[in-house]
Amino acid sequence: MITSGLGLLDISKALLTTPLSQSEVNQFWRKETALSFAIGNGEYEITELLVNAGANINDIDSDEQIKSALEIAVENNRADIISLLLDNKAGVNAALITAAQNWIPRTPPPDLFRLVLARDGAFEPSMRARLLDAVMTRRHGDLFFRDVKRVLSYPTKSSIDETMQRPLFLAFSGHRPRIDLCSLIVNDPAIYDIDKCWSYNYSTSAGLSLIHYIVERSQHHGKWDPVEHLKLVRARGASLDKESKGSAFYSAIYSGNVVCVEFFLREDPHLTTLHINEKEIIWPIATAALNRDYNMVRCLLIHGADIDHGTGNMSSYDRDCYYSDILIATTHEGISNMETKIKGGLLDTLSTQQLQKAINYGLNIDMELERKTFLSYAASSGNVDRVRWLVQHGANVDSQTSDGRSIRSPPLMEAIWYCDDMAAIIVEILLDYGANVNEPRDHKVHNGPVVASPAHIAIIKNNQQVLQLLLAHNADVNLQGNSYGVLLKEATVNGKLHLMKLLAFYGADVNAIGQGTSVLHEAVFNRQLEAVSVLLDLGAYINILDYAQGTPLQLSKAMHYGEMMSFLQRRGALEVCNLKSVKPSYFHHQARRHTSTNSLVLSRNEIEMPDPQAFSRRQSVALQSWVT
């Protein structure tokens, strides 16, 4: 060993001729033999001498830390010694790994790897996988691709076992995986079942399927487009839904890559049907909309996403935000936030053409936004053209949808309450398209009162034209509501004489009892002298009772309302009626400013009513005088 290490060729030759040296040629000193010592010092002739003398050039120990002769030659970049060893049938397995790893970035190495590779013949499959691992974990750029291609180009012994899982993982785990490199690995014949091969990597790929891993990797590592990679593995049979939960598909949606999602939709329409309207963490369409990923929203809608699916679980605020984003997404040209602010809201901003596009995407024409449907908003804004367009395209004109859901802002109510100038035109359109003239009942108007019916709003708004339209379309003229009583009472207490006469013309009962009191009593209590006169002229019974001691005259007396007392007496009111006394009346409490009242009780059978023929005659004469 000493002579070989010192390069003393002649002495080495002499020593090797002795029997003792022949037996010691393969002995170790500090884990080195004479051969490894000579190779390490680059002594070609001594190396050749030792090889010819029988030095072991293959692995001679189970200790993996002891390197073979060929490994040492590769590490020292001695191509001449490598050729010598290979000519003498040196084992190449370990040397190949060393050659693959022994490369300094940016420094063109001697092509020892190719030199060793060319001498080996057919690889064992596991050996080739180890070589690919060594190359792929150390190489970069073109050299990386070149050496992988070279390893794959050499013959390999056949095997039924999957051995390519590690190279497959390395191919797709790069920052931006090269499609040409991935193609080399994926299309290698040694991969029989790509999903099975990949499954051996679950410990390092978080248990994700290959398709799912590619999508996730593209989203979080470099933001690269994975579609070509997906096509590549799909062509080799990779499953789109290996986890059977649609996770890969959902991940594609969350990545915001429309082309990637369209790949899923195109490859497996059944998967789309199964998962596009299902919920993973949140509904896919809702995720895209609330992220304002408008391209993704359009993509999902085109492929059958249900706009309304899952909105029932949203808060009112979230639902408004969601539908607003859906509308913006489906208008194609988009609507800027500044434009929305200037015009006062999204519903103000949308044109009819934009709304048509949204409906074409499946948007429900009766959906509510900001507490209103499109029709409700158009009606309240006085937009006659939009109202007409909506009803012609099937918008619901009633206070309930076809599935029985109540609309918070019914179009008829909105038009009457908010739209003064155009109210009659819009109301007529709605009625012509079948709006229920008596609905909704006891409705709370947005930012307004609770009203019994559309006709009550018309009276509150003092809109005779609208009221006449409603009555002409068979509105119940004697409709009673929980809060406002009969229509005639509402007109009477506010002294709206022209509306009183109109109601009477359409058959209002001037002796009707609203919430336990007659209209005449209400007129007296509200000091509406002219209204009392009109009621009497229309045939109201002047001595009608709300309680045993509650004629209109008695009420005016209790109120110390002298003018009303005199008027009623002139019209023939009686001072006393012989009826059984009951509890104090509603008006007795109100006159004393009590805050709580008893329910008013009135038995119509105990009240003396006028002769029906006389009553009818008086009412007819009065109507001929006042109603045109």
Regarding whether 466 and 389 lie in a shared domain, the answer is yes
Shared domain check, 460 and 555: no
Reported as a pLDDT band with limits 50, 70 and 90, residue 617 is very low
CA–CA separation, 227 vs 514, rounded Å?
Answer: 72
Task: Give the closest residue to 551 by CA, choosing from 529, 568, 536.
Answer: 568
Q: Identify whether 410 is part of a domain.
A: yes
Residues 469, 512 share a domain: no
Res. 585 pLDDT band, cuts 50 70 90: very low
Q: Give 127-132 contacts, CB < 8 A, sequence gap 24+.
A: 127/93, 127/96, 128/152, 128/154, 128/156, 128/163, 128/190, 129/163, 129/164, 129/166, 129/167, 130/97, 131/96, 131/97, 131/100, 132/164, 132/166, 132/167, 132/170, 132/185
* DSSP assignment of 539-608: T--TT--SSTT--HHHHHHHTT-HHHHHHHHHTT--S-------SPPHHHHHHTT-S--PPP---GGGS-
Between 523 and 585, whose confidence is greater?
523
| Local confidence band at 628 (pLDDT 50, 70, 90 cut-offs) | very low
* pLDDT for position 159: 76
What average pLDDT does this structure show over 311-327?
A: 77
Residue 74 lies in a domain: no
Asked whether 484 and 468 are in contact (CB, 8 A), the reply is no
Q: Is 552 in contact with 542 (CB distance < 8 Å)?
A: yes
Rounded distance, CA 187 to CA 171, Å?
12
Strand partners, 406: 400
Q: What is the mean pLDDT of residues 213-228?
A: 82
Distance CA 214, CA 208 (A): 9
**Domain assignment present for 533:** yes
User: Which uninterrupted H or E stretch holds 363?
Assistant: none
Provide the pLDDT for residue 84: 77
Q: Mean pLDDT over residues 263-275, rounded?
A: 81
Residues 425 and 541 in one domain: no
Question: Measured over all CA atoms, what is the biggest interatomic distance in the chain, rounded to whole angstroms?
Answer: 159
Residue 546 forms part of a structural domain: yes
Is residue 188 assigned to a domain?
no
Weakest mean pLDDT among 18-27, 402-411, 479-488, 606-615: 606-615
Q: What is the mean pLDDT of residues 603-609?
A: 36
Tokens of 263: 């790949």
**Gap between the Cα atoms of 25 and 510, Å rounded:** 133
Domain boundary among 432, 451, 484: 484
Domain of 460, CATH number, reads 1.25.40.20
Q: State the DSSP H helix or E strand holding residue 102, giving kind and residue range, or none if neither.
A: none
What domain range includes position 478? 366-484
604 and 522 co-located in one domain: yes
Greater confidence (617 vs 134) lies with 134
Instruction: Let me know if residue 191 belongs to a domain.
Output: no
Query: Does some domain include residue 125?
Result: no
Task: For residue 313, give the DSSP letter.
Answer: G
Confidence of residue 496 (pLDDT cuts 50, 70, 90): very high
Which pLDDT score is estimated for 117? 60
Q: Answer whether residue 288 shows pLDDT above 60.
A: yes
Q: To which H or E segment does residue 324 belong?
A: helix 316-330
Identify the three-state secondary structure at position 191.
coil
Q: How far is CA 613 from the centre of its chain?
A: 68
- Statement to judge: residues 519 and 627 lie in one domain: yes
The pLDDT score that the predictor gives to residue 156 is 79
**627, 527: one domain:** yes
Lowest mean pLDDT among 146-155, 211-220, 345-354, 521-530: 345-354
Residue after which a domain boundary falls, among 443, 468, 484: 484
Please tell me the predicted confidence (pLDDT) of residue 59.
56
Boundary (domain end) residue, out of 484, 499, 530: 484
Mean pLDDT of the chain: 74
- The answer to whether residues 499 and 460 touch, using CB atoms and an 8 Å cutoff, is no
Asked if residue 262 lies in contact with residue 294, where contact means CB atoms within 8 angstroms, the answer is: no
342 pLDDT band, cuts 50/70/90, is: very low
The answer as to whether 416 is a domain residue is: yes
Asked if 461 and 540 sit in the same domain, the reply is no
The pLDDT value recorded for residue 12 is 52
Residues 463 and 534 in one domain: no
- 13: pLDDT strictly greater than 60: no
Residues 534 and 591 occupy one common structural domain: yes
pLDDT of residue 306: 79
| CA nearest to 178, candidates 226, 132, 138 | 226
Over residues 534-554, mean pLDDT: 86
The answer on 579 and 533 residing in a single domain is yes
Looking at the fold, whether 375 and 409 belong to one and the same domain comes out as: yes
Q: 299-303, 442-446, 504-508: which has the minimum mean pLDDT?
A: 442-446
pLDDT tens digits, 64-123: 455 677 667 777 777 787 777 777 766 555 555 555 555 544 444 455 556 666 665 666
Query: How many domains, the chain?
Result: 2
Alpha-carbon distances of 204 from 43, 148, 168, 169, 200, rounded to whole Å: 45, 22, 12, 9, 9
* Greater pLDDT, 363 or 349: 363
Mean pLDDT of the 150-179 span: 83
Name the pTM for this structure. Answer: 0.59
Amino acid at 548: A
Query: Measuring CA to CA, which residue among 372, 371, 421, 424 is closest to residue 395?
Result: 372
Tell me the CATH number at 584. 1.25.40
